[in-house]
Amino acid sequence: MADEFDVVVIGAGPAGYPAAIRGAQNGLKVACVDAWRNRDGTAALGGTCLNAGCIPSKALLESTELYHRLRKEFAVHGIRASGIELDLPTMQQRRAGIVKKMTDGIGALFKAAGVTAIQGHGRLLPDRRVEVTAQDGSKRLLAAKHVVLASGSAPIELKGLPFDGEHIIDSWTALELGAVPKRLGVIGAGAIGLELGSVWRRLGSEVVVLEALNEFLAAADRQLAREALRQLRQQELDIRLGASVSAARTVSGAVEVSYDDAKGSQRVTVDTLIVAVGRRPYTEDLLAPDTGVILDRRGFVTVDEQCATGVDGVWAIGDCVRGPMLAHKGKEEGVMVADLIAGRYGEVNYRAIPSIIYTAPEIATVGATEEQVKASGRAYKVGVFPFLANGRARALEATAGFVKMISAADDDEILGVHIIGPLAGELIAEAVLALEYRASSEDLQRTMHAHPTLSEALHEASLAVDKRSIDSINKS
- Residues of this chain that bind ligand FAD (CB under 6 A): 10-16, 33-36, 47-49, 53-54, 57, 121-122, 150-153, 171, 192, 282, 286, 318-319, 325-328, 330
* Site membership for ligand NAD, residue 192 (CB under 6 A): yes
Residue 386 contact partner, candidates ligand FAD, ligand NAD, none, CB within 5 to 8 A by sort of partner: none
* Site membership for ligand NAD, residue 406 (CB under 6 A): no
* 3-state secondary structure (DSSP) of residue 364: strand
Stretch that binds ligand NAD, among 138-146, 191-199, 263-271, 399-407 (CB under 6 A): 191-199
Residue 47 contact partner, candidates ligand NAD, ligand FAD, none, CB within 5 to 8 A by sort of partner: ligand FAD
**Bond before 14 cis per omega within 30 degrees:** no
* All residues at 6 or more sequence positions from 197 whose CB lies less than 8 Å from its CB, including other chains: 184, 186, 207, 209, 237, 274
Q: How far is the CB of 83 from ligand FAD (least distance, A)?
A: 32
Q: What is the largest CA-CA distance in the chain?
A: 74
Taking Cα atoms as reference points, which of 23, 16, 14, 15 lies closest to residue 113? 23
* Choice from 177, 357, 424, 444 touching ligand NAD (CB under 6 A): 357
Q: How far is the CB of 274 from ligand NAD (least distance, A)?
A: 9
Task: Spot the catalytic one: 121, 449, 451, 459.
Answer: 451
Query: Angle at the Cα of 468 (from 461 to 459), degrees rounded to 5?
Result: 30
Residue 143 contact partner, candidates ligand FAD, ligand NAD, none, CB within 5 to 8 A by sort of partner: none
175 vs 439, beta carbon nearer ligand FAD = 175
State how far the Cα of 153 lies from the Cα of 328, in Å rounded to an integer.
Answer: 15
* All residues at 6 or more sequence positions from 222 whose CB lies less than 8 Å from its CB, including other chains: 369, 370, 371
Whether 30 contacts 146, CB under 8 Å: no
State how far the Cα of 184 lies from the Cα of 271, in Å rounded to an integer.
Answer: 6
* Site membership for ligand NAD, residue 278 (CB under 6 A): yes
339 vs 460, beta carbon nearer ligand FAD = 339
Residue 407 contact partner, candidates ligand FAD, ligand NAD, none, CB within 5 to 8 A by sort of partner: none
Residue 224 contact partner, candidates ligand NAD, ligand FAD, none, CB within 5 to 8 A by sort of partner: none
Residues 55-84 that bind ligand NAD (CB under 6 A): none
* Choice from 122, 181, 188, 416 touching ligand NAD (CB under 6 A): 188
Does the annotation mark 459 as catalytic? no
Q: Concatenated DSSP letters for 216-273?
A: TTTTS-HHHHHHHHHHHHHTTEEEETT-EEEEEEEETTEEEEEEEETTEEEEEEESEE
CA 428 vs CA 160, 318, 420, 433, 441: distances in Å: 39, 22, 10, 9, 15
* Site membership for ligand NAD, residue 354 (CB under 6 A): no
CA 177 vs CA 37, 49, 88, 198: distances in Å: 18, 18, 9, 14
Whether 434 contacts 423, CB under 8 Å: no
36 vs 216, beta carbon nearer ligand FAD = 36
Residues 230-249 that bind ligand NAD (CB under 6 A): 244-245
Stretch that binds ligand NAD, among 229-237, 305-313, 322-330, 392-400 (CB under 6 A): 322-330
State how far the Cα of 439 lies from the Cα of 285, in Å rounded to an integer.
Answer: 45
Please state at what angle helix 54-72 crosses helix 191-202, rounded to 10 degrees. Answer: 40
Q: How far is the CB of 328 from ligand NAD (least distance, A)?
A: 9
Stretch that binds ligand NAD, among 174-182, 309-317, 354-362, 413-421 (CB under 6 A): 354-362
State how far the Cα of 416 lies from the Cα of 449, in Å rounded to an integer.
Answer: 20
* Site membership for ligand NAD, residue 174 (CB under 6 A): no
Helix H segments across 178-221? 191-202
Phi (first) and psi of residue 27, to 5 degrees: 85, 15
Whether 148 contacts 316, CB under 8 Å: yes
* Site membership for ligand NAD, residue 207 (CB under 6 A): no
95 vs 121, beta carbon nearer ligand FAD = 121
Residue 211 contact partner, candidates ligand FAD, ligand NAD, none, CB within 5 to 8 A by sort of partner: ligand NAD
* Site membership for ligand NAD, residue 193 (CB under 6 A): yes
Q: Which residues of this protein are in contact with ligand NAD, per CB under 6 A?
A: 158, 187-193, 195, 210-213, 244-245, 276-279, 324-326, 356-358
Q: Which residues are catalytic?
A: 451
